[in-house]
Amino acid sequence: MKLRKALFCIQKSKGFTLVEIAIVLLVFGLVIGGLMGPLQVQIESLDRKATVKEIGLIKEAIVGFTIINGRLPCPDIDGDGGADMLVTDCVELHGKVPWATLGVGMTDGWKRPFTYHVAKIFAYDIDGDDGDYDGDGDVDNPDCFATATTSNVAFEICSIGDINVLDGYGGNPVASNVPAIIVSHGKNWAETSGNDEGENEDDNTNFVDKTYASGGNNNYDDIVDWVNLNSLIAKMVAAKKLP
């Protein structure tokens, strides 16, 4: 009798009840859920750092290209990575970074292409310069153009860009007279919300650079950087491409 009772107890203790299993799964789910939040934040941080680093390399490559060719590269319009240029001008001033021409990475931390906008005066063909960069038939910045004597360079020391960077849609200026700008549209590329990110997706010369903001009606996770005008001119002078 005692032996039978002992065997019964052993058999009874071999498994878990459904309630016990449910409790274990609940606890396990809470633990995993608690870990996923910080993990996603860390992954987002790593992607942003990788993107910032790649943009830095793109800027260096743009300056190097300019020193060699006397003008900034045109955007890539057809998606093959090459700078698309007509006989004397860019096909478009707004497109993607010409990664193949520059020899840089093709995508940002989220495996999406960077967009790129260049001021016409800095990408104009070095042999076709007529001083009219907006197509209105008038010489732009005539005081500068009148003294333009440098050969094999599209622009002069006195040249200025037409790209403006603001701290928000219709906001205050962060940078003006920018020659070229690079934009990563962040993790939410396909879900752009609000005017700030929208300003970075159209093809005009206004862009927004502001602090990362998650949630609400105006998410902002774009990463924006630009070629600094004074730095570009200084490097062209140092390379003896400008007087």
Per-residue pLDDT of the chain (243 residues), as tens digits, is 554 555 455 455 556 677 777 777 777 776 666 655 567 778 888 999 999 999 999 999 999 999 999 999 999 999 999 999 987 789 999 999 999 999 999 999 999 999 999 999 899 866 545 555 555 555 556 556 555 567 788 888 888 899 999 999 999 999 999 999 999 999 887 555 678 998 999 889 999 999 987 766 668 899 999 999 999 999 999 999 988
In a domain, 191, yes or no: yes
In a domain, 6, yes or no: no
pLDDT of residue 84: 95
In a domain, 5, yes or no: no
In a domain, 232, yes or no: yes
Burial 100-134 (b: 16+ CB within 10 A, else e): ebbebbeebbbebbbbbbbbbbbbbbeeebeeebe
pLDDT of residue 32: 67
In a domain, 9, yes or no: no
In a domain, 8, yes or no: no
In a domain, 186, yes or no: yes
pLDDT of residue 2: 52
Residues spanned by the domain of 147: 14-238
pLDDT of residue 132: 57
CA atoms of 124 and 179, how far apart (whole Å):
12
CA atoms of 154 and 124, how far apart (whole Å):
6
pLDDT of residue 57: 98
Helices 18-69, 229-238: crossing angle, 10 deg rounding: 50
Q: For the chain, what is the domain count?
A: 1
pLDDT of residue 19: 75
In a domain, 4, yes or no: no
pLDDT of residue 239: 95
The Cα diameter of the chain in Å comes to 115
User: Which residues, 6 or more positions from 76, have their beta carbon under 8 angstroms from its beta carbon?
Assistant: 82, 83, 84, 95, 96, 97, 98, 99, 100, 101, 116
pLDDT of residue 143: 57
Q: What is the pTM of this model?
A: 0.79
CA end-to-end span of the chain: 109
